[in-house]
Amino acid sequence: MSPPKKKRRTGKNTLFARVMNSKSGDIRLCSICEEPIKPLYTDEGVIYWYSGNNAQPINDGRCCDQCNNTDVIPARIEMRGNFFKSPEEN
Protein backbone atom coordinates (compact mmCIF):
# COMPACT_ATOMS: atom_id res chain seq x y z
CA MET A 1 0.00 0.00 0.00
CA SER A 2 1.57 3.28 -1.08
CA PRO A 3 0.09 6.69 -0.30
CA PRO A 4 -1.42 8.58 -3.24
CA LYS A 5 1.16 10.73 -4.97
CA LYS A 6 0.42 14.34 -5.67
CA LYS A 7 1.14 15.42 -9.21
CA ARG A 8 3.53 18.30 -9.35
CA ARG A 9 3.24 21.13 -11.83
CA THR A 10 6.52 21.61 -13.60
CA GLY A 11 7.96 23.23 -16.68
CA LYS A 12 5.78 25.98 -18.04
CA ASN A 13 4.22 26.58 -14.64
CA THR A 14 7.40 27.87 -13.06
CA LEU A 15 5.79 31.26 -12.48
CA PHE A 16 2.97 29.48 -10.69
CA ALA A 17 5.46 27.57 -8.56
CA ARG A 18 7.39 30.73 -7.78
CA VAL A 19 4.25 32.54 -6.71
CA MET A 20 3.08 29.66 -4.55
CA ASN A 21 6.45 29.61 -2.82
CA SER A 22 6.44 33.34 -2.19
CA LYS A 23 5.57 34.78 1.19
CA SER A 24 2.33 36.31 0.05
CA GLY A 25 -0.70 34.11 0.53
CA ASP A 26 -2.87 36.52 -1.36
CA ILE A 27 -1.88 35.67 -4.92
CA ARG A 28 -4.89 34.80 -7.04
CA LEU A 29 -5.15 32.96 -10.31
CA CYS A 30 -6.69 34.53 -13.36
CA SER A 31 -10.16 33.04 -13.85
CA ILE A 32 -9.68 33.05 -17.63
CA CYS A 33 -6.15 31.80 -18.35
CA GLU A 34 -5.44 30.44 -14.83
CA GLU A 35 -2.05 32.13 -14.63
CA PRO A 36 -1.19 33.91 -11.38
CA ILE A 37 -2.34 37.51 -11.41
CA LYS A 38 0.70 39.74 -11.11
CA PRO A 39 0.41 41.88 -7.99
CA LEU A 40 1.10 45.58 -8.23
CA TYR A 41 3.95 46.97 -6.15
CA THR A 42 4.63 50.37 -4.71
CA ASP A 43 7.99 52.01 -5.36
CA GLU A 44 9.13 50.50 -2.08
CA GLY A 45 8.38 47.00 -3.33
CA VAL A 46 5.29 46.49 -1.19
CA ILE A 47 2.30 44.76 -2.76
CA TYR A 48 -0.69 47.07 -2.67
CA TRP A 49 -3.01 45.35 -5.17
CA TYR A 50 -3.20 41.68 -6.07
CA SER A 51 -6.74 41.19 -7.30
CA GLY A 52 -6.17 41.98 -10.95
CA ASN A 53 -9.22 43.09 -12.89
CA ASN A 54 -12.94 42.37 -12.82
CA ALA A 55 -13.51 39.62 -15.41
CA GLN A 56 -17.14 40.46 -16.15
CA PRO A 57 -18.81 39.90 -18.54
CA ILE A 58 -16.55 36.90 -19.27
CA ASN A 59 -17.15 35.45 -15.79
CA ASP A 60 -17.64 36.52 -12.17
CA GLY A 61 -14.01 36.15 -11.12
CA ARG A 62 -10.85 38.16 -11.42
CA CYS A 63 -8.48 38.24 -14.35
CA CYS A 64 -4.93 39.30 -15.24
CA ASP A 65 -4.03 42.38 -17.24
CA GLN A 66 -3.39 40.29 -20.33
CA CYS A 67 -6.90 38.76 -20.37
CA ASN A 68 -8.42 42.08 -19.40
CA ASN A 69 -6.95 43.66 -22.51
CA THR A 70 -7.55 40.80 -24.93
CA ASP A 71 -10.88 39.36 -23.73
CA VAL A 72 -12.73 41.43 -21.16
CA ILE A 73 -12.50 44.92 -22.64
CA PRO A 74 -13.47 43.79 -26.18
CA ALA A 75 -16.40 41.87 -24.70
CA ARG A 76 -17.58 44.96 -22.85
CA ILE A 77 -17.32 47.10 -25.95
CA GLU A 78 -19.29 44.50 -27.88
CA MET A 79 -22.01 44.36 -25.21
CA ARG A 80 -22.32 48.11 -25.19
CA GLY A 81 -22.63 48.10 -28.97
CA ASN A 82 -25.45 45.55 -28.84
CA PHE A 83 -27.16 47.46 -26.06
CA PHE A 84 -27.43 50.65 -28.06
CA LYS A 85 -28.31 48.97 -31.30
CA SER A 86 -32.03 48.42 -31.74
CA PRO A 87 -33.17 45.12 -33.27
CA GLU A 88 -34.56 46.84 -36.33
CA GLU A 89 -31.17 48.11 -37.40
CA ASN A 90 -28.76 45.81 -39.28
Which residues are at the interface with Zn ion (CB under 5 A)?
30, 32-33, 63-64, 67
Minimum distance between the CB of residue 43 and Zn ion, rounded to whole angstroms? Answer: 25
Contact yes or no for 37/28 (Cβ under 8 A):
yes
Q: Residue length, the chain?
A: 90
Least distance (Å) between residue 68 CB and Zn ion:
8
CB nearer Zn ion, residue 49 or residue 85 = 49
CB 32, min distance to Zn ion, A: 5
- Kindly tell me which of 19 and 32 has the beta carbon lying closer to Zn ion: 32
Closer to Zn ion at the Cβ: 15 or 85?
15
Long-range pairs for 35-43: beta carbons < 8 A, 24 or more residues apart: 35/64, 35/66, 36/64, 37/62, 37/63, 37/64, 38/64, 38/65
